Amino acid sequence: MGGKPVTALALLGFDPCRMGRETVREVLRGAVDKLKEAGTVLLGGHTLDDREPKFGLAVTGVCEYRCITQEGAKPGQLVFLTKPVGTGALIKGVKEGLLRESDIEEAIENMTALNDRASRVMTEAGSTACTDVTGFGLLGHAFNICRKSGVGMNIEFEKVPVYPQALDLIRRGVFPKGAKENMTFVRAHLKTDLEEWKITALCDPVTSGGLLFTADREKESFISRRSSEVGVNVWVIGEVTEDKVIRVL
């Protein structure tokens, strides 16, 4: 949304008999390190007994000028993405023993990267709509922007950054069930002639994904130059249309 974090509270759930103290310590250490990187602090939080490990942060922040929401996309604008997709398939591949953690180091590096620099580029470029790509997958979050802005999108599959290993796994039928649920979520508003595995890749639920935002076409060169200056990747993956349909080309 273009905001800056100020404070955070942690919520940690774990089973003391199954999850060692050192693991919990490292989870909290990682969170504090990222909060420092983001320029904010951990005020406290809560812990609870839970057989399924859980950790999250509730963050309070401020928008100095305006909040960039999902409601401002305009026909003719370009659609930008700042991280590759496909992490859901990669993580499933590791869990099923088809990949090693060392095989997905690039994805891990991207998942642990903050979106602060990408947000700065987006804000400076005058973006009018934005969301982060997470559990609903690229198409699910694109649909949320379209639905709330009253527009459609054309997305070019070949321009979307997808981890090659994820594509290979998805072709083999290895992906989280959430990808199919996401496809059901968007299918009624989707038009495409592409093979289903390609659409599945764009519906793959993402962990700690990048920003999906829209900006005026004449801002493309500025976004390219500025993103290079601050050290983030930005891909143009499509454009905003008037007809309230998502076309994957």
Per-residue pLDDT, 114: 96
Asked whether residue 196 carries a pLDDT value surpassing 80, the answer given is: yes
Count the Cβ atoms, other than its own, within 10 Å of residue 89.
30
Query: What is the C-alpha to C-alpha distance for residues 4 and 33, in angstroms, rounded to an integer?
Result: 17
Asked whether residue 56 carries a pLDDT value surpassing 90, the answer given is: yes
Asked whether residue 17 carries a pLDDT value surpassing 90, the answer given is: no
Per-residue pLDDT, 242: 96
Phi-psi region of 61 (alpha: psi -120 to 50; beta: other; left: phi over 0): beta
Per-residue pLDDT, 18: 85
Asked whether residue 48 carries a pLDDT value surpassing 80, the answer given is: yes
Looking at every residue in the chain, the average pLDDT score rounds to 95
Mean pLDDT of 112-119: 96
**Residues 6 or more apart whose Cβ sits within 8 Å of residue 73:** 128, 129, 145, 146, 149, 151, 153, 214, 240
Query: What is the C-alpha to C-alpha distance for residues 23 and 16, in angstroms, rounded to an integer?
Result: 10
Please write the tens of the pLDDT for every residue from 129-163.
Answer: 999 999 999 999 999 999 999 999 999 999 999 99
Per-residue pLDDT, 43: 94
Mean pLDDT of 99-123: 96
Query: What is the C-alpha to C-alpha distance for residues 249 and 238, in angstroms, rounded to an integer?
Result: 9
Asked whether residue 193 carries a pLDDT value surpassing 90, the answer given is: yes
Higher pLDDT, 19 or 112: 112
Q: How confident is the model at residue 70 (pLDDT cuts 50, 70, 90)?
A: very high
Per-residue pLDDT, 66: 82
The predicted model scores a pTM of 0.93
Asked whether residue 65 carries a pLDDT value surpassing 90, the answer given is: no
For the ranges 19-28, 115-124, 209-218, the lowest mean pLDDT is seen at: 19-28
Per-residue pLDDT, 225: 97
Treating both helix axes as pointing N-terminal to C-terminal, what angle do 137-149 and 196-203 enclose, rounded to 10 degrees?
70
